Amino acid sequence: MALMITDECINCDVCEPECPNEAIFLGPEIYEINPDKCTECVGHFDEPQCVQVCPVACIPVNPERVEGRDALLAKFRLLQQSAP
């Protein structure tokens, strides 16, 4: 399951540096998450770090990108292989 940031985002800047996959970026109006890079921190942490630090709880699971733990771990491994 990739995460997403809702329009309740207040652009507080705390989530972006917490993402180990650099999946979070500032979009035209609010922060956004690249679902191809989001592993919900599987492979790095036990819980999604962005969710942990978000002061307004605006980072739910993206219903269009439901992925199991095995798929998230496979994505993590693929991202690690392509990292410089």
Report the candidate in 67, 14, 15, 21 with the shortest Cα–Cα distance to residue 41: 21
Residues 9-40 have pLDDT tens digits of 999 999 999 999 999 999 999 999 999 999 99
User: Which domains does the chain carry?
Assistant: 16-82 (3.30.70.20)
SS3 of residue 81 by DSSP: helix
Give the C-alpha separation, 54 to 2, whole Å.
16
pTM of the model: 0.91
